[in-house]
Chains A and B, each alone.
Chain A
């Protein structure tokens, strides 16, 4: 049983950077001519995301999302879209893999500078039921590349 005081864990989870992305999401909206679009929801808690990407020459030129959900899912979406711009599709998929590793508690992934602001979400790994929130936009991303707009 976990008897450690809860506050440090919680304040690691709800860092200012996360709340900032939650309240002022980057790249929120829709694209006029997306090349990839996908909608994903988490039926358990109702988190939703519509993700759109504009990919040219296998490079993500633009990316937008519309979503509703908890701070973790929305911050993750905001940070992800920020990170993905001008990344190639293989690079994006590699980042999805790093993100997933970080959620499984992989310390090296949690220190990987390539993940940018997303490293602030490392604390989610200690809250197993919330991992799917953090991964929702990333799952939308990998789904998107399986389906054309």
Chain B
């Protein structure tokens, strides 16, 4: 396992206390903390390099542009993108998916067409498709999940019989921790001619991703979930698709020539980056990738799996606790309920012990309905968590149970 204590030393916020206790941060699926190296990179950018990019004719502006484009290349290498031009910087996963729906989807979807999503999709990989389908008179087909929280492959097959134009799914579920067989799903979807959009919000931070090996068409991710700054993220796409797509937002930077009544557009990826971009975000994201690769994505995945396994074992010993999602291979996300103690109450009680978990529907209301719960409590791990954190979680959970009259295990 990773030396989590040594990693923690790199994260200023994790040195702090909460309600007089060591801070145990277990809400990494929502967002992660930032190492000093990322904070330094952002500060350094503003101290030494800041100017508007792609515009100025002076040295500083050129250096700012170089830093921004170097960050793009860093993201491209990290995910093995087809080309740096295939990396469009966005505010995160949500904006990346909206870009695909708003530009690719709007241009290519017709009345009567089908878009396929799954019952475990985050609202950000569902609502943009709902909006698009409503606008186009297209059908939205939601693939069911199995009892143990996997995409139901036979239902996926049936959905593909409708020859959907677009298939969207999450590589890793933020509510269940399921690691979906992405390459297989993509192959199946391509066989019926669909374009595939992968929500990589929860996979990019936690396992080694190679978009060319996956062979998806679009891949979305968020920098803030992988040690990078908020408001950073990317859409990674096959350049040939981006080339023929209409623009998403209009404005500066995305144009080539502007006349009174029409314009021609810039080359990719700039065609999709209207306005002044989040340069500090890109620079911080590149620093986050450096940090992650120093530790190694395979080591991170292994570390989190070990923590998830330990957490599931430990929580399952507590009478009344139900853990959701697959039992075997899964990511470091553990959703659970505890008797009739509402997840919101669990989160409040754990907070008093310095433990941060998420309670709610995790932006997956259709999934919650299928699990037949209004909400779950969710602990999600990262490289700076260790078995001590798992034990702190279990101990505090027993305390929560005791407050509600459950007999400690």
Contact = CB atoms under 8 A, between A and B. Distances in A.
A38 B346 CA distance: 28
B340 interface: yes
A69 B19 contact: no
What range describes how many residues of B lie at the interface?
20 to 34
A96 B20 CA distance: 35
Contacts, number: 59
B246 interface: no
Interface stretch (B91-99, B207-215, B328-336, B353-361): B353-361
Nearest to B375: A46
A70 B403 contact: no
A3 B18 CA distance: 8
Nearest to A3: B20
Contacts of A58: none
A2 B19 contact: yes
What range describes how many residues of A lie at the interface?
20 to 34
A5 B340 CA distance: 26
A147 B155 CA distance: 44
A71 B342 contact: yes
A108 interface: no
Contacts of A4: 20
Contacts of B17: 1
Contacts of B365: 46
Given A44-B360, A46-B361, A46-B374, A13 B348 contact: yes
B108 interface: no
Given A1-B17, A19-B405, A23-B340, A45 B345 contact: no
Given A2-B19, A6-B19, A6-B353, A69 B344 contact: yes
A111 interface: no
Contact of B352 (A9, A46, A48, A129): A9
B20 A1 contact: yes
B404 interface: yes
B371 interface: no
Given A4-B20, A6-B353, A19 B404 contact: yes
A14 B368 CA distance: 26
Interface in A6-23: 6, 9-11, 13-14, 19, 22-23
B349 interface: yes
A6, A9, A48 — which one has the most chain B CB atoms within 10 A of its CB? Answer: A6
A1, A10, A48, A130 — which one has the most chain B CB atoms within 10 A of its CB? Answer: A10
A3 B349 CA distance: 15
B20 A2 contact: yes
A77 B204 CA distance: 43
Nearest to B21: A6
A61 interface: no
Contacts of B375: 45-46
20 contacts: A1-B20, A2-B19, A3-B19, A3-B20, A6-B353, A9-B352, A14-B345, A14-B349, A14-B403, A23-B340, A46-B360, A47-B344, A48-B374, A68-B374, A69-B344, A70-B344, A70-B345, A71-B342, A71-B404, A133-B344
Give 9 nearest A-B pairs by CB, closest first.
A6-B352, A70-B342, A70-B344, A3-B20, A14-B403, A68-B374, A46-B375, A45-B360, A46-B374
Given A3-B19, A45-B344, A72-B344, 9 more contacts: A4-B20, A11-B403, A14-B345, A44-B360, A46-B361, A70-B342, A70-B343, A71-B404, A72-B345
